[in-house]
Structure 1
Amino acid sequence: MAAKALMVLGTASHVGKSILTAGLCRIFKQQGLRVAPFKAQNMALNSAATPDGGEIGRAQALQAEACGIPPTTDMNPILIKPASDHAAQYVVQGKVWRNLTAQDYFDFRVRELFPRVLESYARLAAQVDLIVLEGAGSPAEINLRDRDIVNMRMAHAADAACLLVGDIDRGGVFASLVGTLVLLEDADRARIRGTVINKFRGDQALLEPGLAMLEAHTQRPCVGVVPYLANLDLDEEDSVALEGRRTTARTWRDLPETPDRPLRIGVIALPSMSNFTDFDALAAEPSVALAFIEHPAEVAAADVVILPGTKQTLRDLGYLRTRGFAETLLAHARIKPLIGICGGMQMLGQRIEDPHGAEGGGTDDGLGCLPIVTILQREKCTTPAIGQLRVPTLFGRPLTCRRVTGYEIHLGTTIYATDATALFDLERATGESVRDGAVSSNGNVIGTYLHGLFDDDDFRHGFIAAIRSLRNLLPATNVRQYRLARYQRLNRLADALRISLDMAQIERWLGL
């Protein structure tokens, strides 16, 4: 394994490991190094399709972007996609491996899969100068120590210098940093070269006595206090990150009913919602007020409703019925736009069949808005794609941009009724040409398998213009260039880390 290795560990989930890893990747890339990210095992419903036809965690795709390289499945060889409180789908080196309970995985499968993790790491390490690894949760989960393959076992395998990160914004940062080190075994503790305090607000002078005591207790330097970076809006993975994005449809009540008001876009908050980052670019637009809808009564205020992707299509379809969403969505679709993405599109079809037990088996009727039937398959389609709009208008309005980029991640095969109208012609990265999506007979309902389509600036601006026109709202006077802003946010992150971290010390650990 030729590459040098730096590993970012955390005292808990959501302390900022993913974002700090992305920032460090950016810094080293700016210094001219060939750098790549790596996370041995990830648990997330947010995922990305790679050009090599696999599926990895969304954060590793962001980190690859920070490195200026395409994402590959070797960057995240094990992706765990929860299916229930006790079971999950396991994606290994980009492909669906099997569905297992957590007990079965930890008892029997971890050691079986670790050689494949090392395989991926070795391939990656042979191509770059430096790998920045990310841990998961905490390395001090003492009940899982002997079965851990993402934290200290991987740190030893990569011979990585490790940073331990704590989140001061959530409180208890000194206790969590010291406690984590106390619970580690000697060999693991020796890997930790220094600590980092993340998400600090206020006067750092007030923190200095605590930093001195922290270094005395841990016998390690604190190599930085990273400030709380507001409005960074970069991809994260877990449900805690989703909570930070949630808004409530009740805030729409405060919007004035004027022609220049924001467009109200509602996303149904499904229990197993996946790839919620699909909507970050829409939420960032000044002319949009996006909310995650948790109650059927909130649908009425929306100008347009989106039924998002889900890891459990059949179960979430049942949720729509039991919670009263089904009738509300059908009423909405008679007069306003309704959009289904991936699993959302499948639920809007005529029927969903699961003959192979991909989601437990069975068949259920869809909401009947789109002339399609979905058959869930064993093999998942995971590929970037470029779409060309097949229909002349969208919701009866012309669209200024008829081309879109995105990616597919789905188990279902779509069967079209004889009179069905598809939404896009897709050119997949694999070279395959297929039709995608569907349009309802009244034109108010559309569906597509494409994730990330709203990240495409031209398509998003055209989409917003069409819906604003449909809803008799004035054209947007201010639009965001999301892709440029994303590039700038990564640079802003790198600039903040370069100032707040002792990069010279970190580089000495790496022998750079």
Structure 2
Amino acid sequence: MRRAQSIMIQGTHSDAGKSVISTALCRIFSDMGYKTAPFKSQNMALNSYITLDGKEIGRAQGVQAEAARTIATTDMNPILIKPSRDYEAQIVVHGKPYKNMQAGAYRQDFFQQGLTLIKEAYERLDQQFERIVIEGAGSPAEINLNDRELVNMRVANMTESPVILVGDIERGGVFASLVGTLQLIEASDRDRVIGVIINKFRGDVSLLEPGLDWFTEYTGVPVLGVVPYTNVKVDAEDSVALKLYSTERDSEKEIDIAVIQFPKISNFTDIDPFLSEEDCHVRLVSSKEQLQDPDLLILPGSKNTIEDLIFLKQSGLYDEIQRLTKNGKTFVYGICGGYQMLGATVEDPEGIESKVSIEAGLNLLPIYTIITSEKTTTLSKGTIQTNGQTHYVEGYEIHMGVTTFLKPCTPLITQGTTTDGVISENQQIIGTYFHGIFDNDSYRAALINQIRKVKGLEEKHDRVAFRSQREEAYNQLAEHVKEHINLSFIEEKMREYYDKKIRLGMETTMEGSQ
């Protein structure tokens, strides 16, 4: 039976750089000619990715599949956990909602089922691909959880994979976190760690070398690389990454874009294309004092629309948004949950997301939404008409709820015989279910030029080709990481573990035939 060579990337904590290193290795192995797949057994994230067959997986695994030049499938992330309220999350199994579960119930009741799902998904990848890059979650040293964990050392042992431990030096105390992690895991798991990578380094590496020598001597584990901090950006999956976004206004940029940072914000990478535009500055706001008077205000996706709508009211942002819509200068754009909030009401009669059954919306668009148990997950495309121009757009939808027009209005997107979204008569209040709407270069350029026109600025047409830029980012990231890690040593260890896996497989087969 065919088997893949594998490597697992674990970290000392969340946001240590596991996803970035895994993405880089996916592109590196693809460049070397290997048919490569990513794998993360269990992912907790509110940033999602839609597969070609309309299923939902963690965004990081979708991005890693793109980096590996392969088609993403739910086998690459069979379990996705999407927190929806305190101590409760929606469990997504192979891309479809399974049920909402409390944390304790999930840990107690789902463990064996989850383990079976993970084994079966990996087995299918193992037979289809030549190399698999496995990503862990959090830390393998979470000793309070390790007896029933489904994503770190249990997966490494199950797949017979060598492990690289990643530490983030930017946070400080990297040697303590690496040493502490190694000391807290089981001895057999420690033996599986073939080396560590120190990530996000800034400065002169020669000043770090005494620490590197000490670490190897003290632990017996080699340092496989010190990866300098890089501005090369790939999509984030974890809301921890929101700390990297600006919260302050930049007076040197012509276009000021404010994005509401909801407590249950999801798919916040929708805003990333604006980060590449030289005349745009993007900032996150979570209070009325921060909002000020932006040129474009974006209400992003939400995993709990009603509770985040209540947050708008309690924070004072609700009244400030109403004020902005009266000044004739600010464009307001709602995506998915943000689109639902722009309507008259959001209703949740079955208590699917919230204990509040109905909440008044911003009432800026003539729509209302009822939250339903059936989840829409699909890749979508259509056309947008603006100022006599037709823009072909693609995106993806992930939402629970049906939105209805209260009166005839202008849809934003035409999709054959159906439509999506609404645009107000003055074209300054816009809502859509399309995630990734700003990835479409011609439409994004048209929107920015509309804003520039309102501000009395000249139009600009030399815009970024965002999708091409993202592909180039994978190449740049791969080259950056490849330059600073001991790839030959990693490959040697992968082959050793592969040979061991083959031997174990042969021995199992021989035992079964006796």
Q: Please, what TM-score do these two structures have when normalized by structure 1?
A: 0.92
User: How far apart in 2 are the matches of 1:323 and 1:487?
Assistant: 39
AA partner of residue 426 (structure 1): Q
AA partner of residue 168 (structure 2): D
Deviates more, 1:413-422 or 1:25-34: 413-422
Verify: 1:349 aligned to 2:343, yes or no.
yes
- Alignment match of 1:457 (pick from 429, 441, 458): 441
The alignment partner of 2:141 has SS state of coil
Closer/same/farther in 2, CA of residues 246 and 90 from structure 1, 3 Å limit = farther
- Alignment match of 2:411 (pick from 397, 417, 422): 422
Contact 2:235 2:269 (8 Å CA) reproduced: yes
Closer/same/farther in 2, CA of residues 12 and 138 from structure 1, 3 Å limit = same
Closer/same/farther in 2, CA of residues 16 and 100 from structure 1, 3 Å limit = same
Partner of 2:204: 203
The alignment partner of 2:266 has SS state of coil
- Alignment match of 1:384 (pick from 363, 373, 379): 379
Cα deviation, residue 365, structure 1: 2.0
Verify: 1:280 aligned to 2:272, yes or no.
yes
Q: Please give the residue correspondences for 1:206-225 in structure 2 after superposition, counting only pairs within 5 Å.
A: 206-225=207-226
Contact 2:445 2:461 (8 Å CA) reproduced: no
Cα deviation, residue 287, structure 1: 1.3
1:136-175 CA distances to partner (integer Å, 9 max, x unpaired)? 0111111111111100111111111111111112111112
Q: Please give the residue correspondences for 1:320-331 in structure 2 after superposition, counting only pairs within 5 Å.
A: 320-331=312-323
1:220-251 CA distances to partner (integer Å, 9 max, x unpaired)? 2211111111x212112222211101322xx2
Partner of 1:493: 477
User: How far apart in 2 are the matches of 1:102 and 1:399?
Assistant: 52
1:278-336 CA distances to partner (integer Å, 9 max, x unpaired)? 10111221011222122324444211211111111001111112222222212322323
Contact 2:164 2:193 (8 Å CA) reproduced: yes
Partner of 1:241: 241
Partner of 1:314: 306
Contact 2:383 2:390 (8 Å CA) reproduced: no
Closer/same/farther in 2, CA of residues 484 and 262 from structure 1, 3 Å limit = same
User: How far apart in 2 are the matches of 1:338 and 1:399?
Assistant: 21
1:323-366 CA distances to partner (integer Å, 9 max, x unpaired)? 22222212322323211100011011122121222113411222
Contact 2:285 2:291 (8 Å CA) reproduced: yes
Closer/same/farther in 2, CA of residues 120 and 399 from structure 1, 3 Å limit = farther
Contact 2:55 2:377 (8 Å CA) reproduced: yes
Q: Please give the residue correspondences for 1:6-45 in structure 2 after superposition, counting only pairs within 5 Å.
A: 6-45=7-46
Q: Please give the residue correspondences for 1:47-446 in structure 2 after superposition, counting only pairs within 5 Å.
A: 47-229=48-230, 231-248=231-248, 251-252=249-250, 254-255=251-252, 262-334=254-326, 335=328, 336-361=330-355, 362-389=357-384, 392-393=385-386, 398=387, 400-426=389-415, 434-446=418-430
The alignment partner of 1:301 has SS state of coil
The alignment partner of 1:241 has SS state of helix
The alignment partner of 1:381 has SS state of strand
The alignment partner of 1:271 has SS state of coil
The alignment partner of 1:198 has SS state of strand
User: How far apart in 1 are the matches of 2:298 and 2:456?
Assistant: 20
AA partner of residue 287 (structure 1): D
Unmatched segments (≥5 aa) in structure 1: 256-260, 428-432
User: How far apart in 2 are the matches of 1:299 and 1:198?
Assistant: 34
Contact 1:90 1:100 (8 Å CA) reproduced: yes
AA partner of residue 46 (structure 1): N
The alignment partner of 1:405 has SS state of strand
Cα deviation, residue 410, structure 1: 0.5
Unmatched segments (≥5 aa) in structure 2: 499-514
User: How far apart in 1 are the matches of 2:425 and 2:5?
Assistant: 58
Closer/same/farther in 2, CA of residues 418 and 239 from structure 1, 3 Å limit = closer
Deviates more, 1:29-38 or 1:215-224: 215-224
Contact 1:388 1:404 (8 Å CA) reproduced: yes
User: How far apart in 1 are the matches of 2:214 and 2:428?
Assistant: 62
Contact 1:373 1:416 (8 Å CA) reproduced: yes
Deviates more, 1:294-303 or 1:159-168: 294-303
Cα deviation, residue 400, structure 1: 4.3
Which runs of at least 4 in structure 1 moved beyond 3 Å after TM superposition? 297-300
User: How far apart in 1 are the matches of 2:388 and 2:39?
Assistant: 40
Cα deviation, residue 124, structure 1: 1.9
Contact 1:50 1:382 (8 Å CA) reproduced: no
Cα deviation, residue 401, structure 1: 4.8
Closer/same/farther in 2, CA of residues 426 and 121 from structure 1, 3 Å limit = farther
Aligned residues: 492
User: How far apart in 2 are the matches of 1:246 and 1:75?
Assistant: 32
Cα deviation, residue 24, structure 1: 0.5
RMSD of aligned residue pairs (Cα, Å): 1.8
